[in-house]
Structure 1
Amino acid sequence: MSAIEIGSFEEFEAYSGQELGTSEYFQISQNQINLFADATHDHQWIHTDPERAKSEGAFGNTIAHGYLTLSIVPHLWEQILKVNNLKMMINYGIENFRFAHPVLVNDQVRLVANLKSVVNLRGTVKAEVSVKLEIKDQRKPAFTGVLVFLYHFK
């Protein structure tokens, strides 16, 4: 699978309303969960204590922090879209975002992206991308929402 390459507003506009693609699956490990807990100071046992999560937790195992699943979007996004001729990209916002299903340790997830809209704002391209993070072998996605990016082309 190769990423779509975009180098201008016009190239972006050609994909408006269409699916941009799907990333490869990415496995969430306990080590990654622990490192995220350290970085964010969120050491709640449901994330970091496998034994307690098995005996007391609702899911039978530790789960990834919701914001950890969101934080891997840049890694997965670059597998879907490569933007060339770029001066700067800004993460502008997140809209209608919902965590729908927990991601258990060792689950594999992938990002599915659709270009909801793209607008040229006097040389700055505003792209609204509908995303969902699918969990392998689960019916419900981990999350859904709309990511808003600003792209400044050269």
Structure 2
Amino acid sequence: MKVVDILKHKGESLSRHRSQFVDRMSPSLKDYWSELVTRAQSQHLFKSWGKDFPTSAVNEEVVNPVHDTIEMKPEAEALYNKLCAEIGEQVYLGEWFSIDQQRVDAFAKVTQDMQWIHTDPERASEESPFKSTIAHGFLTLALLPKLTDAVDPDKPQYPTAKVTVNLGMNRVRFPYPIKVGSNIRAKCKLIKVTPIQKGLEITKEVKVEIEGIRRPGCVAESVIRLYF
């Protein structure tokens, strides 16, 4: 008996237990199963299962979603044109900033991350491979607005924008630990500028350098939105 005939015959039972059935498949069998389902759907076999695996019909026209036309305000357009010319370039290099134990302890208390590698200098000097306490990775991340000079109300980075919103991070890595007592600074490279409704979306790569160390303490892709 062919596999398709078996599945057709057992379709009702398979439909009741489809999730368990698929979960037990190997990756290669899942690929075969997807192809099998597509063929079976075209022959109107085991519809009750096949409907859970929607596929585009043959020769079906794929229609792209319609996007509203974005009309930029003069301030947004001027900034957009300026930033487009800077894509791929370093657009900021900060001042050195010291990471001390007091700041690390305060962050540990707020976040309840009291691991000894951060908060116990004596133990760290004896047991840690770094021979020192180190800053939390998320402390470094939390300092990015300060390190990139993005939180000074008297010196806004984008003065023509009415509102700046932190949309988040596309990716974050901590390639090298930042020891307490180190000096760090941020440098930013502009990656992308995209017009959005009422504003712009800006993507930057931010690297946190450690004085005297070749590898960065943090590399993050930051996304902000400006509204005008």
> What is the TM-score when the length of structure 2 is the normalising length?
0.61
Deviation at 1:122, TM superposition (A): 2.6
Residue 33 of structure 1 pairs with residue 104 of structure 2: yes
What is the CA–CA distance in structure 2 between the aligned matches of 1:9 and 1:78, rounded to whole Å?
20
Written as runs of structure 1 = structure 2, the 5 A alignment for 1:61-80 is 61-78=132-149
SS class of match (2:107): helix
> For residue 13 of structure 1, what is the aligned residue in structure 2?
84
What is the CA–CA distance in structure 1 between the aligned matches of 2:147 and 2:226, rounded to whole Å?
18
Q: Which has the larger radius of gyration?
A: 2
What is the CA–CA distance in structure 2 between the aligned matches of 1:140 and 1:90, rounded to whole Å?
30
What is the CA–CA distance in structure 1 between the aligned matches of 2:220 and 2:127, rounded to whole Å?
31
What is the CA–CA distance in structure 1 between the aligned matches of 2:210 and 2:162, rounded to whole Å?
34
* Aligned counterpart for 1:99 among listed residues 155, 174, 177: 174
Residue 134 of structure 1 pairs with residue 209 of structure 2: yes
| Cα offsets for 1:62-105 (capped at 9, x unmatched) | 000000011111112127x7110222111112123111000000
SS class of match (2:131): coil
Greater per-residue helix proportion: 2
What is the CA–CA distance in structure 1 between the aligned matches of 2:157 and 2:171, rounded to whole Å?
25
| Cα offsets for 1:6-61 (capped at 9, x unmatched) | 98333333322211021001010000000000111111110000001011111001
SS class of match (1:34): helix
Unpaired runs of 5+ residues, structure 2, are 1-75, 151-155
Aligned-partner residue type, residue 13 of structure 1: C
SS class of match (2:169): strand
What is the CA–CA distance in structure 2 between the aligned matches of 1:20 and 1:132, rounded to whole Å?
12
* Aligned counterpart for 2:196 among listed residues 106, 121, 128: 121
Aligned-partner residue type, residue 67 of structure 1: F
| Cα offsets for 1:90-135 (capped at 9, x unmatched) | 1112123111000000100010100001011132210010111000
What is the CA–CA distance in structure 2 between the aligned matches of 1:10 and 1:88, rounded to whole Å?
19
Identity of aligned residues (%): 34
What is the CA–CA distance in structure 2 between the aligned matches of 1:54 and 1:23, rounded to whole Å?
30
Aligned-partner residue type, residue 121 of structure 2: P
What is the CA–CA distance in structure 2 between the aligned matches of 1:71 and 1:145, rounded to whole Å?
12
SS class of match (2:224): strand
Q: Per chain length, whose mean CA-contact separation is higher, i.e. which structure has more relative contact order (CA < 8 Å, sep 6+)?
A: 1
Q: Which 4+ residue blocks in structure 1 deviate beyond 3 angstroms?
A: none
Q: Kindly report the root-mean-square deviation, in angstroms, between the aligned alpha carbons of the 2 structures.
A: 1.9
